[in-house]
Amino acid sequence: MWQTGSIGAEPAGQSVVEGGPIPYKPEKLAKKKENYENRRTNDPEAKCYMPGVPRANYMPYPFQIVQSPKGILMVYEFASANRFVNMGKPQEAGSDTWMGTNNGKWEGDTLVVDVTGLNGLAWFDRAGDYASNNLHVVERYTRTDPYHIRYEATIEDPSVFTKPWKISMPLYKVVDKNAQLLDFKCVEFSEELLYGQFKKQTSSTK
């Protein structure tokens, strides 16, 4: 196995959750702990699955906001995930999806995106925080200066949490000269984890 040394380690970070810990229902905490214990193999990020909302917005990969007269497209480098924010008449969620059904509107200078129809399979982070397919996320994007957006997300899921809770953080604009999204097609990095056990075992197995 490839030893990653300190490359695979994660630096400390402070919580972005407002007002204390995530308000799990007591009986739902065991699942979070189980997720954490098994995060190396069970985190959907490790499997290169679409990251869901809100996690897509604070992974260590860039995303681009495409603001067209027809709507807003969020294009994520990770796993080529994307989500189209409908700015017209709100649409009801069809089947559950990883990136949800996104309906947007303007409140002054703030973009408010209401996200439903999430399948509950994505996690919030590498610590195993999770929700169900009753998850409802309301995001608020407010540009505070040319280089920053204040990002807030209210997270509601009565099957997992005792009450709605909120995260907030700044999003930093990538200002590198010639900044552009590149491919991060991570499937190849996940295949050994997902399917390695099913490969033909030979004396010279690669």
Give the binding site for another protein (CB under 8 A): 48-50, 64, 66-71, 73, 75, 79-82, 84, 94, 97-99, 121, 178, 180-183, 185, 187-188, 190-191, 194-195, 198-200, 206
Distances (CA, A) of 7 to 2, 46, 172: 11, 15, 23
CB 76 within 8 A of CB 63: yes
Q: Which is nearer to another protein, 63 or 165 (CB)?
A: 63
Q: Which is nearer to another protein, 119 or 132 (CB)?
A: 119
Q: How far is the CB of 185 from another protein (least distance, A)?
A: 5
Beta strands in the chain (DSSP E): 63-68, 71-76, 82-86, 101-107, 110-116, 136-145, 148-156, 165-172
Q: How far is the CB of 166 from another protein (least distance, A)?
A: 26
User: In which order are the strands placed within the sheet that holds 110-116?
Assistant: 63-68, 71-76, 82-86, 101-107, 110-116, 136-145, 148-156, 165-172
Q: Which is nearer to another protein, 17 or 181 (CB)?
A: 181
Q: Which is nearer to another protein, 65 or 127 (CB)?
A: 65
Amino acid, single-letter form, for residue 39: R
CB 77 within 8 A of CB 57: no
Q: How far is the CB of 62 from another protein (least distance, A)?
A: 11
Q: Which is nearer to another protein, 98 or 161 (CB)?
A: 98
Q: How far is the CB of 25 from another protein (least distance, A)?
A: 27
Q: How far is the CB of 20 from another protein (least distance, A)?
A: 33
CB 71 within 8 A of CB 82: no
